[in-house]
C-alpha cells in the first residue's frame, strides 16, 4: 500500500522544510506514515485520503462541552441555534489565535495556563494539533496592556514549545463573530508563514503584514534599499522601530528601551541624517515602518 501511494503521489512527497499547515500526514494501517504537500493535492484528494486513512490533522480535544459547542458552530459549521451559542458567548469579545511549533503533551494544563495569562479568557479551542484560538471577553477583568513577549517566554519555558499569537480586534456584536473569526484565521495563516520570526501580531498590525505578504520579493528588495545606509546598524533600526510603534512619542519609546530620552532623540536624528527620510513626518513614518517590517 505504501509503495503504491508513494508512486501515485510522487509529485507531492517533497516535504523538506514544509510548513506544518501545508503538511498532510497519514497514518497507514501498517504503522507507516506518509507525509504529503497539501498544496499539490486537490481538495477532493485530501478529503478522500483523510477518509481512508487516519490523519494527524484529525486532532480533537475539548476542555468542556462549551468548547465543543463553539467548535461545532464556528469550525464544523453545524446547524446550531444562535440562542444556544449566545448562552456561552457574551459580547464584546475578541479572538486570540495561536500557533505552536512542538508537541503540547498536556492540553488541559496548557489551556489553564493560557487562560490564566490572558484574563477573562473563557474558551480555548484547538483546530489542529498545532493551532487554535481562544475567546477573551471584554469585561471588568479585561486588560488590554498585556506583556505579550513575557507571556510567550513563560509558555515557551513551561511547555518546551515555540508559540506565536494573533490578538484580534474587539467584536461588539454577536452577529459579527463568525465572519470575523474566519477572516482573522485567514489573515493569520497567510502572514505567519511569510513572517515566521515575528512572535505576535496585534489587531490591525497584521493588515500591513498581509499586504506585504502579497508584494513580490523583488519589489520589497527595491523598497527597502532606502534603508541601505543604516541596514547593518541593528540597534539603530530597533530604536527607530520602537519609536514608530510608540506613535512618535520619544518619551514612551525611551522608557520601553530603558534609555534616556535624549539618547533616543539622538538615534532618531541620526537615522534621519543618514537616510534623508524625516520620520517625524507622518507619511515618512508610515513608509519607513513598512520598510522595517520588510527588512
CATH 1.10.10.2840-classified regions of the chain: 215-294
pLDDT of residue 29: 53
Q: In this structure, are residues 289 and 243 in contact, taking their beta carbons and an 8 Å threshold?
A: no
Q: In this structure, are residues 169 and 177 in contact, taking their beta carbons and an 8 Å threshold?
A: no
pLDDT of residue 144: 75
Place of cell 514608530: 244
How far is it, in rounded angstroms, from Cα 252 to Cα 267?
Answer: 15
∠ CA 245-226-269, rounded to 5°: 55
CB burial string 266-284: b at 16+ within 10 A, e below: ebbeebbeebebebeeeee
Q: 65-211: CATH homologous superfamily? A: Reverse transcriptase/Diguanylate cyclase domain (3.30.70.270)
Query: CA 86: distance to chain centroid?
Result: 27
Q: In this structure, are residues 49 and 76 in contact, taking their beta carbons and an 8 Å threshold?
A: no
Low-confidence ranges of the chain (pLDDT < 50): 30
Give 76-136 as a DSSP string.
S-----HHHHHTT--SSEEEEEEEEES--S-HHHHHHHHHHHSTTEEEEEESSSSEEEEEE
Q: 215-294: CATH homologous superfamily? A: PucR C-terminal helix-turn-helix domain (1.10.10.2840)
Reduced to 3 states (helix: H, G, I; strand: E, B; else coil), residue 167 is strand
Q: In this structure, are residues 25 and 33 in contact, taking their beta carbons and an 8 Å threshold?
A: yes
CATH 3.30.70.270-classified regions of the chain: 65-211
Q: In this structure, are residues 193 and 19 in contact, taking their beta carbons and an 8 Å threshold?
A: yes
CB burial string 15-40: b at 16+ within 10 A, e below: eeeeebeebbbbeeeeeeebebbbee
Q: What is the pLDDT of residues 137-184, one digit of tens each?
A: 988 767 777 889 999 999 999 999 999 999 999 999 999 999 999 999
Pick from 82, 227, 229, 104: which is nearest to 158 by CA?
A: 104
Place of cell 530620552: 261
Q: In this structure, are residues 126 and 61 in contact, taking their beta carbons and an 8 Å threshold?
A: yes
For residue 76, what are the contacts with CB-CB under 8 A and spacing of at least 6?
none
Reduced to 3 states (helix: H, G, I; strand: E, B; else coil), residue 271 is helix
pLDDT of residue 30: 46
The H or E element containing residue 266 is: helix 261-275
Amino acid at each position: 500500500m505504501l509503495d503504491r501511494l508513494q508512486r501515485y503521489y510522487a509529485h507531492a512527497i517533497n516535504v523538506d522544510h514544509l510548513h506544518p499547515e501545508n503538511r498532510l500526514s497519514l497514518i497507514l494501517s501498517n504503522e507507516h506514515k506518509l507525509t504529503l504537500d497539501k498544496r499539490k493535492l486537490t481538495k477532493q484528494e485530501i478529503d478522500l485520503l483523510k477518509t481512508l486513512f487516519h490523519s494527524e490533522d484529525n486532532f480533537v480535544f475539548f476542555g468542556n462541552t462549551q468548547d465543543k459547542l463553539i467548535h461545532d458552530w464556528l469550525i464544523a459549521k453545524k446547524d446550531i441555534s444562535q440562542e444556544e451559542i449566545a448562552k456561552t458567548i457574551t459580547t464584546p469579545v475578541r479572538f486570540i489565535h495561536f500557533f505552536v511549533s512542538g508537541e503540547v503533551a498536556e492540553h488541559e494544563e496548557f489551556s489553564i495556563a493560557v487562560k490564566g495569562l490572558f484574563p477573562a479568557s473563557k474558551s480555548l479551542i484547538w483546530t489542529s494539533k498545532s493551532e487554535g484560538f481562544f475567546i477573551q471577553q471584554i469585561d471588568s477583568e479585561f486588560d488590554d496592556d498585556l506583556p505579550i513577549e513575557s507571556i510567550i517566554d513563560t509558555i515557551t519555558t513551561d511547555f518546551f514549545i515555540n508559540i506565536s499569537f494573533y490578538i484580534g480586534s474587539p467584536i461588539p456584536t454577536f452577529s459579527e463573530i463568525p465572519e470575523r473569526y474566519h477572516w482573522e484565521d485567514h489573515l493569520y495563516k497567510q502572514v505567519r508563514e511569510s513572517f515566521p520570526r515575528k512572535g505576535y501580531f496585534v489587531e490591525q498590525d497584521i493588515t500591513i503584514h498581509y499586504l506585504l505578504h502579497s508584494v513580490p520579493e523583488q519589489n520589497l528588495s527595491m523598497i527597502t534599499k532606502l534603508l541601505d545606509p543604516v541596514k547593518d546598524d541593528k540597534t539603530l533600526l530597533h530604536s527607530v522601530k520602537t519609536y514608530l510603534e510608540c506613535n512618535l512619542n520619544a518619551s514612551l519609546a525611551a522608557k520601553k528601551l530603558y534609555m534616556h530620552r535624549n539618547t533616543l532623540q539622538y538615534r532618531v536624528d541620526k537615522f534621519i541624517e543618514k537616510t534623508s527620510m524625516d520620520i517625524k513626518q507622518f507619511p515618512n513614518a508610515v513608509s519607513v515602518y513598512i520598510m522595517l517590517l520588510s527588512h
